Structure 1
Amino acid sequence: MPKTKIILILFLSFINATSFASDIDKLVFPKAEILNKYTARIPFKLIDHLIVVEANVLNKKGNFIIDTGSQNLILNKVHFPSQYGHNKKRVETTGVLNSLDNPLQKKLSEFNLLHFSLKDKNSDIIDLSHIEKSKKMHLLGIIGYSILKDYEIFIDLYLNQITLTKVDKNGNKLDPKVYLEKIVDSIDFKLKKHTIVVNGSINSQNLKLGLDTAAEFNQINKSVNKKVLKHFVPKKRINLAGASNKQIEVLAGNLHRLKLSKTVYLGPMKTILTNLSKMQEAFGVQLDGILGYEFFKYKRTIINYQKEKLYFINYPLITQ
Structure 2
Amino acid sequence: MKRLWVTILLFTINAFVFRAYAIANPPILFPKAEVLNPYTTRIPFKLVDHLIVVEAELLDKKGNFIIDTGSEALILNSVHFNAYYPFQKKTTNASGVNAVLDFSYEKFIDEFNLNGFKFENKVSDIINLSHIETGKKIKLLGIIGYSILKDYEVFIDLHLHQITLTKVDKEGHPLSDKIYLEKIVDSLDFTLKKHTIVIQGFINNQSVRFGLDTAAEFNQINKSIHRKALAFFIPKQRLKLNGASGKTIRVLAGKLHRVKLKDNIYFGPMYTVLTNLNQMNEAFGVALDGILGYEFFAQKRTIINYKKEKLYFIDYPIAY
TM-score band (shorter)? over 0.9
Give me the whole-angstrom Cα distance separating, in 2, the residues matched to 1:96 and 1:161. 20
> 8 Å contact 2:64–2:138 — kept in the other structure?
yes
On the 8 A contact 1:10/1:212 being kept in 2, the answer is: no
Q: 1:213 and 2:214 equivalent?
A: yes
Once residues 134 and 16 of structure 1 are traced to their aligned partners in structure 2, the CA distance between those partners, rounded to angstroms, is: 25
Give % identity.
62
Give the conservation status (yes or no) of the 8 Å contact 1:75–1:142. Answer: yes
Change (3 A) 1:12 1:87: farther
Query: Helix, strand or coil for the counterpart of 1:25?
Result: coil
Between the aligned partners of 1:260 and 1:12, the Cα distance in structure 2 is 27
**After the TM superposition, which of the residue ranges 57-66 and 13-22 deviates more from structure 2?**
13-22
Cα separation, 2, equivalents of 1:314 and 1:17: 43
CA drift of 1:92 comes to 2.9
- Number of matched pairs: 317
Match of 1:49 in 2: 50
- 8 Å contact kept, 2:219–2:290: yes
Secondary structure of the corresponding residue to residue 20 of structure 2:
coil
Give the partner amino acid of 2:71.
S
Structure 1 segments (4+ residues) deviating >6 Å: 11-16
Secondary structure of 1:84's aligned partner: coil
**3-state SS, counterpart of residue 285 of structure 1:** coil
Aligned match of 1:312: 313
Structure 2 counterpart of 1:166, which letter?
K
For 1:184, the equivalent position in structure 2 comes to 185
Q: Which amino acid counterpart does residue 6 of structure 2 have in structure 1?
A: I
- Could you say which residue in structure 2 is the equivalent of 1:292? 293
Structure 1 residues 157-196: aligned runs within 5 Å:
157-196=158-197
Equivalence for 1:3: 2
Amino acid aligned to 1:155: I
Q: Distance in 1 between matches of 2:151 and 2:10?
A: 20
- Structure 1: gaps spanning 5 or more residues: none
**Contact residue 18 and residue 87 of structure 2 kept, 8 A:** no
Secondary structure of the corresponding residue to residue 35 of structure 1: strand
Contact 2:254/2:273, CA 8 A, preserved across alignment: yes
- What SS does the corresponding residue of 2:125 show, helix, strand or coil? strand
1:12 and 1:104 map into 2 onto residues whose CA distance is: 19
Task: Please list, as runs of the form range in 1=range in 2, the aligned pairs for 1:19-98 lying within 5 A after superposition.
Answer: 19-22=19-22, 23-81=24-82, 83-84=83-84, 86=86, 89=89, 91-94=92-95
Distance in 1 separating the partners of 2:98 and 2:28:
30
Deviation at residue 5 of structure 1 after TM alignment: 2.4
The DSSP-based 3-state class of the residue aligned with 1:280 is helix
Superposition map of 1:123-202 within 5 A: 123-202=124-203
Q: What does residue 255 of structure 1 align with?
A: 256
Is the contact made by 2:304 and 2:312 (CA closer than 8 Å) also made in structure 1?
yes
Distance 1:160 1:96, change over 3 A: closer
For the 8 Å contact 2:17–2:103, the answer to whether it is kept is no
RMSD: 2.0
Q: 3-state SS of the aligned residue for 1:254? A: strand
Q: CA deviation at 1:118?
A: 1.2
How far apart in 1 are the matches of 2:109 and 2:221? Answer: 35
* Change in CA separation of 1:97 and 1:21 when aligned onto 2, cut-off 3 Å: closer
Partner of 2:119: 118
Map residues 221-236 of structure 1 onto 2, 5 A cutoff. Answer: 221-236=222-237
CA-to-partner distance for each residue in 1:79-122, whole Å, 9 max, x for gaps?
112x1364683543145896420111122111111321111112
Preserved CA contact (<8 Å) 1:77 1:126: yes
TM-score (norm 2): 0.94
Work out whether residues 63 and 141 of structure 2, in 8 Å CA contact, stay in contact via their aligned partners in 1. yes
61 and 97 in structure 1: CA distance in 2 versus 1, 3 angstrom threshold = closer
Report deviation, 1:245: 1.3
Deviations 1:246-280 (A, max 9, x none): 11111100000001011101120000000001211
Q: TM-score, normalised by structure 1?
A: 0.94
Distance 2:210 2:160 in 1: 26
Counterpart-to-counterpart distance in 2, 1:185 and 1:3: 39
